Amino acid sequence: MDLTGKKIVLGLTGGVACYKAAELCRALSKAGASVQVVMTDAASHFITAVTMQALSGQPVFSSQWDPRVDNNMAHIDITRQADAILIAPCSADFLRKLAHGACDDLLSTLCLAKPRMLPLLVAPAMNVEMWQNPATQRNVAQLREDGVVFFGPAAGAQACGEVGLGRMLEAQQLLEELIAAFQPKVLAGKRILITAGPTFEAIDPVRGITNLSSGKMGYAVARAAREAGAEVLLISGPTALAAPHGVQRINVQSAQQMHDAVMAAVDGQHVFIAVAAVADWRVANASEQKMKKKDDGSVPDLKFEQNPDILATVAARTSLAGYPYCVGFAAESENLLAFGAAKREKKGIPLLVGNIGHHTFGQDDNTIILFDENGHTILPRADKLSLARQLVCEISKRLDKYSLFQ
């Protein structure tokens, strides 16, 4: 589990979004974290300590005078073994208090008294005007400068009936953000373009040819790259998956559309990772109208033409421009070691990731082999997100060396 062994101090301040904190608390526990809830007085107007105690499995603290801590120093003891403080929801008033070093309740006092290296993460939740008010924005800028990390806020409909920035992120998004906060930022400042999923090649308006790619590996790579600090653009064929939090996604259907979307976005990218299972051929004589079944039993005479090879096109461009650093995937059905090495050479790319197609398509875990100019390295069977994180580390190491020669 992603948060196994992590101790999280979950701070709640006053806001309607407290109802989401209950779900967040449960999600954190399910992900393996132990959660110590600390609530302000205002938070207890929105949700009770009873609920948060039941969900976290630990007594909730709210008063700096709480006698349950042996030395009566809850404001010190609570953070000393913690791995992060997450304030969700974080009100406009609590941002003000953090920005000014206030310490007039337990939560603000423990934030001021926290060890310097302990991450302080905040998920703002407030009315759009309160968020946009220059006073709040001054506090936000000050806190960012002080190293406080902001999760959101998101834009959308608000409990007050107004619409705009200020909504707290959803519990699942906050969980993803927190998990990401613990990942090494090996791709900080890098722009990464990724293709994922299958393509769909139309035969007529209601039929087409596709393949068994689920998109899971490409989406895992996109999430891992974003966790590592990169700005990620994901160009995806049809899948049932939600875009990872913080990843920008462009949806396409056909190989040609994927090609066009990639070529429109490739400028300025540091890395291109082609994970998509792109159809090699498209139907050259696709019908504009639905084809009718014939009474005489005759079948359509489909003609095929080759799709552009997106990876090879980008790799050829890289040989002139130096960037992006190209990573390909190869799904083979046999003899992966020989085919993988040969495919890397043929595509003209520095790194190729090989896997056995029918062992990975639709699965949650995989085994991959990395092929580069020094030979191959096997990354043993693991869930796709773990493999994607390892791959991202491998890419970052090679990228550092690659940059030296550009």
Annotated binding site for CTP: 280, 290, 308-311, 329, 343, 347
- The whole-angstrom distance between residue 306's C-alpha and the CA centroid of its chain comes to 33
CB of 51 to ligand C5P, least distance (A): 47
CA-CA-CA-CA torsion sign (242, 248, 249, 255): negative
**Residue linked to tokens 């421009």:** 321
CB of 248 to ligand C5P, least distance (A): 19
Alpha helices in 148-288 (DSSP H): 171-181, 216-227, 255-265
CB of 260 to ligand C5P, least distance (A): 12
> For the chain, how are helix, strand and coil distributed in percent, rounded to 5?
35, 25, 40
Q: DSSP letter string over 29-67?
A: HHTT-EEEEEE-TTGGGTS-HHHHHHHHTS--B--TT-T
3-state secondary structure of 299: coil
Q: Whose Cβ is closer to ligand C5P: residue 16's or residue 312's?
A: 312
Q: Whose Cβ is closer to ligand C5P: residue 300's or residue 357's?
A: 357
Positions at the binding site: 280, 290, 308-311, 329, 343, 347
Q: Whose Cβ is closer to ligand C5P: residue 86's or residue 224's?
A: 224
**DSSP letter at 198?**
B
Q: Report the alpha-carbon distance of residue 278 to residue 314 in Å, rounded.
A: 14
Q: Whose Cβ is closer to ligand C5P: residue 307's or residue 360's?
A: 307
Contacts of 188 (CB under 8 A, 6+ apart): 228, 229, 230
CB of 276 to ligand C5P, least distance (A): 4
Name the residues annotated as catalytic: 160
Which residues on adjacent β-strands are paired with residue 251? 236
Q: Which contiguous run of DSSP H or E holds residue 313?
A: helix 310-321
CB of 339 to ligand C5P, least distance (A): 9
CB of 96 to ligand C5P, least distance (A): 49
Q: Whose Cβ is closer to ligand C5P: residue 324's or residue 328's?
A: 328
Contacting residues toward ligand C5P, per CB under 6 A = 195, 255, 274, 276, 278, 307, 309-311, 328-330
Q: Return the ∠ at Cα 28 (arms to 24 and 30), rounded to 5°.
A: 115
Which residues on adjacent β-strands are paired with residue 122? 87, 150
Q: Report the alpha-carbon distance of residue 93 to residue 180 in Å, rounded.
A: 27
C-alpha distances (whole Å) from 362 to each of 211, 218, 234, 365 are 11, 12, 19, 9
Q: Whose Cβ is closer to ligand C5P: residue 40's or residue 366's?
A: 366
